[in-house]
């Protein structure tokens, strides 16, 4: 959708960004512990550009994720993916996944997809900022510069009971007082400027 924003407007809005301080993991009201779970992807390095496959310029599937051991007492995981560089008052939510089983050590490529009220593989997928269930592919405006896509993993002391297909606010409310540890992974994406792609990468036009 945002690929239709003209480059001149994207450039004009370049300094308009929600801000990293508004990410869930940065919310002081939640008193979250420091990141202690290693969170990674075999498709891109931390801080590196997301391959087109996972964006609105490609197949638009969610990237694969893996994570390390969680602390004792972990009953479930939750994942929230946000874009704090969106030209909006709040970060754009690209994915909400809650009730990931404690025995899980990652998500396969394409796993963040609409599942209705189902719990395929022990996971529940909530609503993104467009009000749709599943992965919202990165789609930054041309000329707006690089955007961070922040994958935030939360190890929970108890599984949360949420009905229907919750969005960010409902899941964040459920996190309060239940987070044992967090993990953080950042992928980037942009349009209209040179960038390195994936893990090793080579210069290419965004």
Residues 6+ apart with CB under 8 A from 96: 78, 79, 80, 81, 125, 126, 127, 128, 166, 167, 168, 171
Q: pTM of this prediction?
A: 0.85
- Helix segments in the chain, DSSP class H: 7-12, 168-175
Q: Where are the domains of the chain?
A: 2-11+20-192
Report how far residue 79's alpha carbon sits from residue 48's, in angstroms, rounded to the nearest whole number: 20
Topology annotation, domain 2-11+20-192 = Phosphatidylethanolamine-binding Protein (3.90.280)
| Mean pLDDT value across residues 170-186 | 94
C-alpha torsion sign, points 58, 139, 48, 23: negative
pLDDT tens for each residue of 25-66? 999 888 898 879 999 999 999 999 999 999 999 999 999 999
């Amino acid at each position: 959708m945002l690929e239709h924003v003209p480059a001149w407007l994207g450039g004009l809005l370049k300094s308009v960004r929600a801000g990293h301080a508004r990410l869930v993991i940065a919310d002081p009201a939640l008193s979250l512990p420091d990141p202690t779970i290693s969170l990674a992807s075999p498709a891109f390095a931390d801080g590196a550009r997301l391959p087109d496959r996972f964006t609105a310029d490609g197949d638009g599937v969610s990237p694969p994720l893996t994570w390390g051991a969680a602390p004792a007492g972990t009953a479930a995981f939750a994942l929230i993916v946000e874009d704090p560089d969106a030209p909006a008052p709040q970060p754009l939510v690209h994915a909400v996944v809650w009730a990931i089983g404690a025995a899980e050590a990652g998500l396969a490529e394409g796993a963040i997809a609409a599942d209705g009220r189902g719990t395929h593989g022990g996971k529940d997928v909530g609503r993104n900022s467009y009000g749709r269930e599943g992965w919202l592919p990165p789609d930054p405006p041309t000329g707006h510069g690089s955007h961070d896509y922040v994958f935030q993993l939360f190890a929970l002391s108890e599984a949360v009971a949420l009905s229907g297909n919750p969005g960010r606010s409902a899941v964040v409310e459920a996190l309060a007082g239940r987070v044992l540890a967090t993990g953080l992974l950042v992928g980037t994406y942009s349009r209209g400027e040179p960038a390195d792609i994936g893990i090793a990468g080579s210069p290419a036009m965004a």
